[in-house]
């Protein structure tokens, strides 16, 4: 069996990293193809991925601009199709919901190869929230031949897909690798014994000055000092809106530069509360059992919205009420109610490889489909 893994962003790399390490451990050949949306070499070195990247474009990304993103996608489809056609892998794997996911799904179909969508079936049920991720998911799910979904609800959304599997999310494999390799830091900088953690980067949030002001007011309601790890695109938008966080009266918001994934996991584990508009951080908060305010109007991970995760819909009033409740009862009344994380499965990456090996050995690939035949 021979695979191609197409990756564009740092987040995609982190979630596919356990799969790549397992492939190398089992000595299964694969090609790592980078679209150029982000530079992946530092992460490849950090996590000791032996396979080198085949870069479609060594110029990094499109500066979070939607128009440039579309141009990036259009110009990348043909080169990726050519690369895949030359490599002729048995399966092409792509992850999640980025612009690179769309590129990979289209190029795989054009090259008449078998597409495998990892983290399939997620839906926020709103094409603009998040944008363009929701559209990317739909395209990837429609074009793939094999879908690996993180939960039972995700599988149910893939009704027309013959080859669909509930395997959990590889993000939990990533966390365990960080822990196992002792990259998981227990002692952090700063004097605060209790702190909140914030990460905001969603297109629909940062493109709106009104939304960013609401988010800042929500952060100000935190019972603990907030460490806001500021993405470059978020920082640029705040400057454009002339929002100076250092001049907020009585502010408890401490601006920090982005850190490595290992450090960020340590921050989540050591925090008292998390504010985020990221979907993966919902899963990481669930793993560490951390209270989480979701700074969005919708979420594709609605199964995780429970006693310790709150979908704010950017309502300052409702968020303050929830934070008050959080501090008042500290969930002691609900400790007996067991929450089972629907996204957590043991050894997700191993499951994916085992299923692909089984399919490869049992079925003969046919253009756009996989049909059972007698050998």
Q: How far apart are CA 245 and CA 251, in angstroms?
A: 8
CA distances from 97 to 47, 110, 232, 264, 301 (A): 23, 19, 20, 22, 13
* Residues 295/205, Cβ–Cβ less than 8 Å: yes
Distance from the first to the final alpha carbon of the chain = 17
Strands (E), the chain: 2-7, 29-34, 53-55, 91-95, 115-118, 146-149, 163-166, 196-199, 226-229, 253-256, 273-276, 292-294, 309-311, 364-366, 369-371
The pLDDT assigned to 61 comes to 56
* % of residues, the chain, pLDDT over 90: 59
Task: Kindly tell me if the per-residue pLDDT of 178 is higher than 60.
Answer: yes
Task: Check residue 371 and give its pLDDT.
Answer: 45
pLDDT value of position 318: 94
Interval 107-128 mean pLDDT = 95
Q: Which of 130-139, 188-197, 269-278 has the lowest mean pLDDT?
A: 188-197
CA–CA dist 165, 129 (Å, integer): 26
Contact 228, 195 (CB under 8 A): no
pTM reported for the whole predicted model: 0.88
Q: Percent helix, strand and coil across the chain, each rounded to 5? A: 45, 15, 40
Predicted confidence at residue 367, as pLDDT, reads 38
Share of the chain above pLDDT 70, in %: 86
Torsion of CA 10, 125, 147, 105, to 10 degrees: -60
Give the whole-angstrom CA distance, residue 95 versus residue 118: 5
Q: How confident is the model at residue 11 (pLDDT cuts 50, 70, 90)?
A: very high
Q: What is the rounded average pLDDT of the residues 82-104?
A: 95
Is residue 337 scored above 70 in pLDDT?
no
Least confident of 118-132, 136-150, 230-244, 326-340: 326-340
pLDDT, residue 373, reads 40
Lowest model confidence (mean pLDDT) among 69-78, 123-132, 156-165, 212-221 = 69-78
Q: Give the domains, in start order, of the chain with CATH numbers.
A: 2-169+345-371 (3.40.50.2000), 185-334 (3.40.50.2000)
Per DSSP, the three-state class of 6 is strand
Q: Taking residues 155-176, what's their average pLDDT?
A: 93
What per-residue confidence (pLDDT) applies to 366?
Answer: 47
């Amino acid at each position: 069996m021979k695979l191609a893994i197409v990756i564009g962003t740092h987040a995609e790399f982190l979630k596919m990293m356990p799969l790549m390490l397992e492939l190398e451990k089992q000595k299964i050949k694969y090609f790592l193809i980078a679209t150029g949306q982000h530079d992946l070499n530092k992460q490849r070195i950090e996590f000791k991925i032996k396979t080198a990247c085949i870069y479609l474009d060594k110029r990094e990304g499109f500066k979070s601009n939607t128009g440039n993103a579309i141009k990036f996608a259009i110009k990348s489809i043909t080169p990726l199709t050519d690369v895949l056609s030359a490599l002729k892998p048995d399966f092409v794997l792509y992850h999640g919901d980025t612009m690179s996911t769309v590129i990979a799904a289209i190029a795989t179909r054009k090259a008449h190869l078998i597409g495998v969508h990892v983290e399939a079936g997620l839906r926020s049920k709103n094409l603009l929230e998040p944008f363009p991720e929701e559209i990317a998911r739909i395209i990837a799910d429609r074009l793939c031949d094999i879908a690996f979904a993180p939960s039972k609800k995700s599988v149910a959304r893939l009704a027309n897909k013959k080859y669909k599997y509930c395997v959990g999310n590889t993000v939990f494999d990533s966390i365990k690798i960080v822990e196992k390799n002792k990259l998981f830091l227990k002692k952090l900088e700063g004097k605060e014994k209790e702190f909140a953690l914030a990460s905001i980067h969603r297109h629909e949030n940062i493109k709106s000055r009104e939304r960013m002001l609401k988010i800042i007011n929500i952060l100000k309601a935190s019972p603990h000092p907030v460490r806001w790890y500021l993405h470059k695109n978020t920082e640029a938008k705040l400057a454009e809106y002339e929002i100076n966080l250092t001049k907020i009266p009585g502010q408890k918001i401490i601006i920090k530069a982005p850190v490595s994934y290992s450090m960020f996991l340590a921050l989540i584990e050591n925090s008292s509360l998390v504010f985020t508009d990221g979907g993966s951080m919902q899963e990481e908060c669930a793993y560490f059992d951390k209270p989480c305010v979701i700074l969005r109007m919708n979420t594709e991970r609605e199964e995780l919205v429970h006693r310790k995760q709150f979908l704010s819909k950017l309502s300052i009033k409702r968020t303050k009420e929830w934070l008050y409740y959080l501090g008042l009862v500290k969930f002691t009344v609900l400790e007996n109610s067991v929450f089972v994380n629907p996204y957590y499965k043991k050894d997700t990456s191993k499951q994916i490889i085992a299923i692909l090996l089984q399919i490869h050995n049992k079925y003969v690939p046919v253009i756009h489909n996989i049909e059972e035949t007698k050998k």
